[in-house]
Structure 1
Amino acid sequence: MLFFSNILGAEVRDQADCVVGKVFDAVILHTESDCPPVIGVVVSDKRNLRQFINADSIENFGKNYLTLKNGFLDCAVDVPQEKDFIFLRDTVLDRQIVDLAGVRVVRVNDLQFGMIKGEMCLVTLDIGKLGLLRRLGLAGLNLFNFLQPELLEWKNVRLLGDKLQLSMGTKEMVKLHPADIANIIEKLNLNQGSELLQSLDKKTAARVLEELEPEIQRILVESLGPERAAGVMQKMSIDELVDLIQMLPDRKSKEIMENLPSDSTSSVRKILEFDEDTAGGLMTTEYVSVFPSTTVKEVVEQIRQSYQIHRGIYIVYIINENGNFKGVVSLRKLIISEYDQTMDELMDNEKKPTATSSQNILEVASLMTKYNLTSIAVLGADKKLLGVITVDDVMRHFVPHA
């Protein structure tokens, strides 16, 4: 096996054993091959000009040397510019890779080659500390083999343009929890993070966006552009969407609002009317509400039709024809009730605690703790149901960077 660190800077000798230059880079073809062959090397000649040597003209790859079959002038051609050529020094070495198995971002410190069917092929990427020592010429310091190579097989690597390499495809990425994907994006640079976010479907991207640090949220949204950003943001929960819009500069938030669908815009404006430190500013308008005369069967059907826009449905809120809050029915009670029973029959006679839209969030949190509530209805001065606050909303308010 031969490492890239053994090839970079290696002397290039022609058939007369004369030094004609040094290896500057190695090139493979962008194919689906598990172990793509090296199709040539870029050589920096004695005049410091870069020339390309085809693999067919190379007699031998060795540790710190490379020999040619003929004279240098007979082998050297201009460096090709084909799009399907991968220049390993520029595109792979020192680049970051998203290692989905370990849910981490790692750096390519070295590359490992091997002879397969008479061709020098790229086999693995070394992401360990030993690869870095080898690059620095300090591999001899690894006494007693304390450090072992950490290798990723090339066949598991995918390229997104020339900026980001994924150890698995996007289909595997979306299987991760959004918080894990967010952690990965936070370790990448802006271009890579934006590239990764855009590679996800809009629903997954929205959930990941919700998990990012506020400052990174703002930067990524601004980099996406108003149309693409709005497409992702409309999939966010309303309360998270409002928080993000409030962080953006006025011009950018206006552009986003213009590209959001009318129902999202209406909900956002409704919450923006309230101070962000009040119940009205923290509430979400995404909840299930029905009339007292609605049957269990009708409620279940409504939930089936709208479940995609709700992260979790545990409580059904009961309102009258004027929108006034009447009570709640838990999902548990719905499940064990008969289909023809109405919400009026299932509601508890006991008055449920509620919050007012102007109430301080600390007071709301105390109220939810006192009565052991997972969510609480937020009412206006006219007792109409404006929204709900969940325990998750309260936790995110007090521990925003968890």
Structure 2
Amino acid sequence: MIFFAHYLNAEVVDATEKTIGKLKDMIARGGEDYPFIEAIVVEKGDKQMFIPISYAENFGYDEITLKIRSEKIEQYKSGLKDFWLYRDIVDKQIVDISGTRVVRVNDIQLGKVEDRIRILGIDMSTRGLLRRVGIEKWRIFKPLEPKLIDWKNVQLVNGAIRLKTVSNDLKKLHAADLANILEELTPKQGISLISALEPEKAAKVFQELNPMQRRLLVDLLGEEQAREVLDNVPTDDLADYVKTLNLKETKRIFSYLKRDKRMTVEKFIEYPNDTAGGLMTSDFVEIDPDWTVEEAITHIKNISNKYRSIFFVYIVDKAGKLFGVVSARTLLVKDLMDPMRKIMKPLKKIHTVHPATDVKKVAEIMTKYNLFSIAVTDKHHKLLGIITVDDVMRCLMPYS
């Protein structure tokens, strides 16, 4: 195996055997699974040269020979996708997409493909570090093995990361995995990463963070981006977040929210966290009892992007009183012209809880009757919100 460290500080000589300087870095061009090395960075004193790799005739560990005279070298011109191996990668943090974790790079594995050099992976082992300082071959270090990660499974994260440099693979990671990665990054790196996500995905990541991380994220995002992210966070999660803030911070967050959402959050924060009211969310679908199945399905299609999941729709009148529940499965199998009041499960046959109901009691009811969600109503049967099983689990198994 060959590594970047093998070439670091190698002498570079031209066709007349004149020493030009020492190799201090390599430049690669992103955009491929295994990027090609396009140029080498050579230094001699204060002088720095960017020499196209195509000028190299012999690429040895100790000496790199060029096939032209130094005065005829046309220096390499960097492109937007270019990155430097030592400056941008070695000793930096890399996201291992396959392992959904952040690792530190000690060396870079290279490979020769059709007379060109490509990046194949990164070495995060102690041996990679020893290789760079020139003591890898000492007998005491022989048992140490390289720990390699395939290059196509990594994504560089640095302070200058831009939207176009974040790979689709990284964006496709589960929000919980992205949250774990953010925890290991510096605030500057974390903001660079979260800013590259769509607001909907950023909001899901926000929901996976602990209160302190949420506060830091909102502070660093700035008003405009914070508005976009918070607008996509469910009201129950926002209420939980606001409960951790002081009065000044709460006023600032409320100023970011739209009026209807702010009023709902204000109502939710009145309830203790360990009660049904503290757990409930307003993210549920309401349907008029006189609507047909076809009207209900059309409505759901139009608003579905606003919800994390839709397992049930709740049948309520114009005053907000709960009449019944219909599962998504029932909607799909019933006649399109059937009215909702005909196919719904009526109120007297469904389980509901009061806002003051203890979370353990809520969990007991949901477990006993195998419920994915449960409605929260007041004494007049007005639908206040619903509780999903994942929210119950979050309360019973809080952040460590």
TM-score interval (norm. to shorter): 0.7 to 0.9
Once the two structures are superposed, the pairs formed by residues 164-175 of structure 1 within 5 Å of their partners are 169-175=166-172
Give the 3 Å change call, closer, same or farther, for CA 279–84 of structure 1 in structure 2.
closer
1:284-342 C-alpha deviation (Å, 9 max, x unpaired): 11112223333222222222222111222222222233222233233333333323333
Query: Match for residue 99 of structure 2?
Result: 102
Cα displacement (A) at 1:275? 2.8
Instruction: Return the TM-score normalized by structure 1.
Output: 0.79
Query: Match for residue 395 of structure 1?
Result: 393
Cα displacement (A) at 1:387? 0.9
1:97-146 C-alpha deviation (Å, 9 max, x unpaired): 22223333222211345677877x45334324232332342344488776
Q: Secondary structure of 2:91's partner? A: coil
Query: Match for residue 222 of structure 1?
Result: 219
Work out which of the residue numbers 31, 45, 52 in structure 1 matches 2:48. 52
Cα displacement (A) at 1:270? 2.4
Give the 3 Å change call, closer, same or farther, for CA 165–93 of structure 1 in structure 2.
farther
Look up the equivalent residue of 2:262 and give its one-letter code: T
Q: Secondary structure of 1:55's partner? A: strand
Cα displacement (A) at 1:231? 0.3
1:212 aligns with 2:209: yes
Look up the equivalent residue of 2:185 and give its one-letter code: L
Look up the equivalent residue of 2:294 and give its one-letter code: K
Work out which of the residue numbers 291, 295, 298 in structure 2 matches 1:294. 291
The answer to whether the 8 Å contact 2:5/2:132 transfers is: yes
Q: Matched residues in 2 for 1:295 and 1:68: separation? A: 78
| Identity fraction in percent | 36
Q: Matched residues in 1 for 2:362 and 2:193: separation? A: 38
Q: Secondary structure of 2:220's partner? A: helix
Q: Matched residues in 2 for 1:32 and 1:286: separation? A: 40
Work out which of the residue numbers 122, 127, 132 in structure 2 matches 1:126. 122
Cα displacement (A) at 1:398? 1.1
Look up the equivalent residue of 2:371 and give its one-letter code: L
Give the 3 Å change call, closer, same or farther, for CA 352–133 of structure 1 in structure 2.
same
1:8-35 C-alpha deviation (Å, 9 max, x unpaired): 4557789999999866x31426565754
Instruction: Return the TM-score normalized by structure 2.
Output: 0.80
Q: Secondary structure of 2:176's partner? A: helix
Query: Match for residue 255 of structure 1?
Result: 252
1:193 aligns with 2:186: no
The answer to whether the 8 Å contact 1:12/1:20 transfers is: yes
Query: Match for residue 3 of structure 1?
Result: 3
Q: Matched residues in 2 for 1:318 and 1:82: separation? A: 58
Query: Match for residue 138 of structure 1?
Result: 136
Work out which of the residue numbers 221, 228, 236 in structure 2 matches 1:231. 228
Give the 3 Å change call, closer, same or farther, for CA 253–62 of structure 1 in structure 2.
farther
Give the 3 Å change call, closer, same or farther, for CA 301–59 of structure 1 in structure 2.
closer
Work out which of the residue numbers 329, 344, 347 in structure 1 matches 2:345. 347
Q: Which blocks of at least 5 consecutive residues in structure 1 are unaligned?
A: none
Give the 3 Å change call, closer, same or farther, for CA 108–122 of structure 1 in structure 2.
farther
Query: Match for residue 364 of structure 1?
Result: 362
The 10-residue stretch of structure 1 (56-65 or 131-140) with the greater mean CA deviation from structure 2: 56-65
